[in-house]
């Protein structure tokens, strides 16, 4: 295994890798959407939802997060995405309602109508599916998006 350059910690290298992969993923999603339109959005959304099927519950267990309420849900995303180098914030956390924010975006870092569409209609299908997996009474709502010009992306999850 190659050594890291002097002054580069493993944590910094991992976060840089997450950022680069996010950008590649974003470009791939843009190309799929531009070539196949609505059908492409459905495929991208399916991939993200399936990712939740494969990793969300295991991730909760791995992080030692217990419960099936809004707090457990939000803690997963703040923890997982912080590890990938995102600047995350848990703005509100009660069992009934939690709000978390992405202050950085590796996937779609530019305000753009295509990026906004991808976020709203496909990319956040992971979060949507995770709600159902954890507790069918949980509902997530995207209230702010950086791709729409907001200062951060914000997800509100509520127990209905």
Cβ-in-10-Å burial (0-12, 13-18, 19+) of 142 comes to middle
Report the pLDDT averaged over residues 132-138.
Answer: 97
Contact 157, 139 (CB under 8 A): yes
Read off φ and ψ for residue 121, nearest 5 degrees: -105, -10
Inform me whether the pLDDT recorded for 160 exceeds 70.
Answer: yes
Inform me whether the pLDDT recorded for 22 exceeds 90.
Answer: no
User: In angstroms, rounded to a whole number, what is the distance separating the alpha carbons of residues 54 and 14?
Assistant: 22
Inform me whether the pLDDT recorded for 149 exceeds 80.
Answer: yes
Percentage of the chain beyond pLDDT 70 is: 99
Q: What is the pLDDT of residues 96-129, one digit of tens each?
A: 999 999 999 889 988 999 999 999 999 899 999 9
Which stretch of 18-27, 52-61, 133-142 has the lowest confidence by average pLDDT? Answer: 18-27
User: In angstroms, rounded to a whole number, what is the distance separating the alpha carbons of residues 31 and 83?
Assistant: 27
Distance, C-alpha 152 to centroid of its chain: 12
Inform me whether the pLDDT recorded for 70 exceeds 70.
Answer: yes
Q: Which domains are seen in the chain, by residue range?
A: 10-159 (3.30.1380.20)
Tell me the pLDDT of the chain averaged across its residues: 93
Q: What is the pLDDT of residues 28-66, one digit of tens each?
A: 999 999 999 999 999 999 999 999 999 999 999 999 999
Inform me whether the pLDDT recorded for 1 exceeds 80.
Answer: no
User: In angstroms, rounded to a whole number, what is the distance separating the alpha carbons of residues 41 and 122?
Assistant: 6
Which stretch of 8-12, 56-60, 87-91 has the lowest confidence by average pLDDT? Answer: 8-12
């Amino acid at each position: 295994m190659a050594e890291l350059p002097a002054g580069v910690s493993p944590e910094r290298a991992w976060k840089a890798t997450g950022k680069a992969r996010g950008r590649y993923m974003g470009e791939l999603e843009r190309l799929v959407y531009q070539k196949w339109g609505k059908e492409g959005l459905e495929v991208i959304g399916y991939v993200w939802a399936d990712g939740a099927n494969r990793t969300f519950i295991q991730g909760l267990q791995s992080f030692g997060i217990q419960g099936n309420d809004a707090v457990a849900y939000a803690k997963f995303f703040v923890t997982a995405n912080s590890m990938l180098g995102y600047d995350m914030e848990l703005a509100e956390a009660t069992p009934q309602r939690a709000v978390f924010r992405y202050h950085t975006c590796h996937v779609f870092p530019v305000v753009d109508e295509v990026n906004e569409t991808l976020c709203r209609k496909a990319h956040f299908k992971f979060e949507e599916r995770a709600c159902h997996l954890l507790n069918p009474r949980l509902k997530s709502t995207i209230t702010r998006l950086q791709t729409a010009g907001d200062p951060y992306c914000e997800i509100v999850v509520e127990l209905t």
